[in-house]
Amino acid sequence: MTAETIARLQRLVDRSPHNSWLGMHVVAADGDGVEIRVAWREEFISAPERRAVHGGVLAGLVDSGAVFAVMAAAESLAATVDLRVDYHAIPASAPMVVKGRLVRLGRSLSTAEGYVYDAENRLVASGRATVIVVKPKDAA
């Protein structure tokens, strides 16, 4: 199950220009959650003097953690309805790791969380999303 789910999610990453640009590599995925490793890009940087990662990059990672957790559990495609992100710290080291976990799986609408860590396992950003399952016929 798990290996199959990882492969399915990685295929979604690979066909997505933005997720490929983020360098996402799915390393774990089951009904409880996902873990995704992220490559580093200088274009992630917002304020160069502080080496801060841009809020949009971290939001995209939190979003991906949440959506992929729902897609792993629901065995279908899913899309984000809305997202909250809390910014905790500037990452001190790369690559970053994203963990996604379900808060509640619903038939149509689910709630899931994403947590972004730097390479020293320091929490950099976290948040939660309302995620809607997209039915198979809508999927490519």
| Number of chain residues interacting with a second copy (CB under 8 A) | 52
Across the strands, what pairs with 128?
A: 84, 113
**Site residues (CB under 8 A) for a second copy, limited to 61-100:** 61, 63-64, 67, 79-89
Q: Does residue 136 touch a second copy according to CB under 8 A?
A: no
Measured distance CA(61)–CA(112) in Å, rounded: 13
Q: Does residue 4 touch a second copy according to CB under 8 A?
A: no
**Site residues (CB under 8 A) for a second copy, limited to 15-34:** 15-22
Q: Does residue 120 touch a second copy according to CB under 8 A?
A: no
Q: Which is nearer to a second copy, 39 or 89 (CB)?
A: 89
Question: Whose CA is closest to 117, among 7, 19, 27, 31?
Answer: 27
Rounded to the nearest 10 degrees, what angle do helices 2-14 and 55-74 cross at? 140
Residues ≥6 apart with Cβ < 8 Å to 97: 35, 36, 37, 38, 116, 117, 119, 121
Q: Which is nearer to a second copy, 28 or 132 (CB)?
A: 132
Q: Which is nearer to a second copy, 22 or 73 (CB)?
A: 22
